[in-house]
Amino acid sequence: QEKLDMSMYPVESIRNFSIIAHVDHGKSTLADRLLEITGTISKTDCNKQVLDKLQVERERGITVKAQSASLFYNHEGINYLLNLIDTPGHVDFSYEVSRSLSACQGVILVVDANEGIQAQTVANFYLAFEAQLSIIPVINKIDLKNADPERVEKQIEKLFDIPTDECIRISAKQGTNVEKVLQKVIEKIPPPQCNTADPLKALVFDSTFDHYRGVIANVALFGGEIEKGHKIVSAHTKKRYEVNEVGILTPNQQPTHKLYAGQVGYLIAGMKEVTEAQIGDTLFLYKQPVEPLPGFKSAKPMVFAGMYPIDQTEYNNLRSALERLTLNDSSVTVHRDSSLALGAGWRLGFLGLLHMEVFNQRLEQEYNMSVILTAPTVPYKAVLSSAKLIKEYGKDQITIINPAQFPDKLSVSEYLEPTVLGTIVTPHEYIGKIIALCQDRRAVQKDMLYIDENRVMLKYLFPLNEIVVDFYDVLKSLSSGYASFDYEDAGYQSADLIKMDILLNGNPVEELATIIHSDKAYTAGKLLCERLKEAIPRQLFEIAIQAAIGKKIIARETLKAYRKNVVAKCYGGDITRRMKLLKRQAEGKRLMRKIGNVEVPRDAFIRILKRETDK
């Protein structure tokens, strides 16, 4: 295959840009159209979400992994190289978005002509704005009946201070005005400011793992040039590699002789794991170190969930599935964990709820594994005051992921919980309910602003754990789907945390202990007791189910004893069926966990511990 010669594209003819938008506003469809217009892919009816290669992306209509594509376009006699960097549209991946943006000089901000500005429109705008990128506003879906581009233009002007005449009205689906967008990109977005004469400085903005070729790193060159045979070093890991191949993505891999400053493409350099090519890392030539590009951070998990095989016999299968899935997702943190109830498993850290759901879905679809996913928890912290514990842990501030690790109040000077700054955009008729919801979730209002006559933007500081379970779902249903939500990490705050135990006839059930804010303890305890009452089978004696904080009981349910439990008829025809059932129950005895004298089947634990799935 002929290798492309990238030297034909001097820096002045290069435009690096990204498309940012709120979920479902048409980002990927616009990308499809751009690829078609530039001849990168042929125009057929089946070009739908071309850049979304993962099945889960295509099904859910979301972009999870950032892809890039190099487009070639001739405008007014000049051949331009336009590098489109597709970004994940979801809040969980804002770090990826920010790294992709740092490889760009401009963005196309897509807003739905009917929905208008939504929470992520705002969040993504600010990311681009802070990165000092040129912003081209595009109003999409003008072909739909309820489109009101004029209103949206006014919103954009009011909120982002961009004049209405800079907006381009398009229909990505039909292709209307899409070419204008390309031209605007060339006119308005500056070429990259960099020099091929400088030493190599490459930003890794994504990486994938290929079984045969190893890690493929998506890079943007901020200086210098790179080709096969070069020896490069990772600023983060300090490891050294030799480059095997470089190329561009169209969107499939197309090898080239070299890549030059200002260009975007991929390289393969004998890296074995994606953790060796972390997003945000800087690559430079051996013996020519450079100042690493700013903004690199190791993936920080926001949400934790326990993952257990449905049956312990599946443990090994699940382990290899996890290994393979995390090959391509270096932002999932994996720790081995075990539960008395569920056996051996893992505690996984995700960037957010969507990340966790997508991961779970990929596990099911790509590896055919069904797992028990326990309710998400967040990493709490404690500032220790006990000398003994400080010595034991080697530091005075610890992170608590497992309730069993929760240090007692007496040994702690302060407990901390993670918080996020959430942005909600909603039609004004739902304000009352939403404010009430936020208050219920211990959130503190930081800002409230009308973005137009109908819609309000609210900013609240939330404790993260109040959001991870079902906040988004509740928000959506309260507002008939019209409210949108986005959040970003806002550090830790002091919190009145306690450990709530569950007791059965006085004996604690370790697996069900939870760390919770004292305000919420009563409601949570009551709910848990009620759920347990439904989940535990009746026994020959009464069972007292209690939620307790230390010695104090805060909630209780009673499961009455069986007074009659014998099948009425047992004659010839009934016997076989009866025996089957009884023998199954006898088998079940093997898997029973005995808490004191109370028998709790594994199934009951699963029902209580597992995460409520979306309806």
Partner 1 sequence: LCPQWPYCRKRCSYCNFNTYVVPAVDEAAMRACLVREALTLLRLSQVHSVTSVFFGGGTPSLASPRTVGAVLEAVAGAAHLPAGAEVTLEANPSSTSTSRLSGFRAAGVNRLSIGVQSLDDAELRLLGREHTAEEARKAVEVAQGLFPGRTSIDLLFGLPGQSRDAWAQQLEAALGLCDDHISLYQLTLERGTVLAAQVWGGVLPAPPPDLLADMYQTAHTVLVAAGFRHYEVSNFARKGALSTHNLSYWQADQYIGVGPGAHGRFVPRGEGGCSREARVQTLEPVAWMREVQSQGHGTRSRVVLSPLEQLEELLTLGLRTDEGITHERWGHFSPELSLQDVFGVPGEAWALQQQGWLLLDGSGLRCTWAGLAVLDSLLPDLLWQLQRR
* Residues at the interface with partner 1 (CB under 8 A): 539-540, 560, 562-573, 575-576, 578-579, 582-583, 585-586, 588-590
β-strand partners of 599: 594
Q: Give the integer Cα–Cα distance in Å for 350 and 454.
A: 35
CB of 577 to partner 1, least distance (A): 10
Q: How far is CA 566 from CA 101, 209, 542, 582, in A?
A: 68, 59, 18, 11
Following DSSP, what letter does each residue of 36-77 receive, concatenated? Answer: HHTTSS---TT-SSTT--SHHHHHHT---S--EEEEEEEETT
**Rounded least distance, CB 576 to partner 1, Å:** 6
Instruction: List beta partners, residue 230.
Output: none
Q: Which residue's entry shows tokens 């497992």?
A: 402
Residue 432 makes CB contacts below 8 A (sequence gap 6+) with none
Nearer to partner 1, 467 or 543 (CB): 543
SS percent in the chain: helix, strand, coil, step 5: 30, 35, 35
- Residues 518/442, Cβ–Cβ less than 8 Å: no
In the complex, the smallest distance separating the C-beta of residue 90 from partner 1, rounded to whole angstroms, is 41
Cβ distance to partner 1 smaller for residue 126 or 562: 562
C-beta closer to partner 1: residue 365 or 558:
558
CB of 585 to partner 1, least distance (A): 4
Nearer to partner 1, 8 or 582 (CB): 582
Task: Tell me how far, at minimum, the Cβ of 568 lies from partner 1, in Å.
Answer: 4
Report the residue number, 458 or 536, with the smaller CB distance to partner 1.
Answer: 536
Q: Which two tokens stand for residue 359?
A: 């991961």
Contact 273, 216 (CB under 8 A): no
* Phi, psi dihedrals of residue 456, rounded to the nearest 5°: -120, 145
Cα–Cα dist 459/455, whole Å: 13
Residues present in the chain in total: 615
Which run of H or of E encompasses 110?
strand 106-112
Which CB sits closer to partner 1, 238 or 569?
569
Q: Which among 3, 613, 609 has a CA at the least distance from the CA of 307?
A: 609
**Interatomic CA distance for residues 22 and 335, integer angstroms:** 33
**Residue 520, Cβ neighbours under 10 Å: how many?**
18
Is the Cβ of residue 481 or residue 573 nearer to partner 1 in the bound state? 573
Which is closer to partner 1, CB of 272 or CB of 583? 583
Question: What is the nearest approach in angstroms of partner 1 to the Cβ of residue 534?
Answer: 14
Which of 240, 589 has the CB closer to partner 1? 589
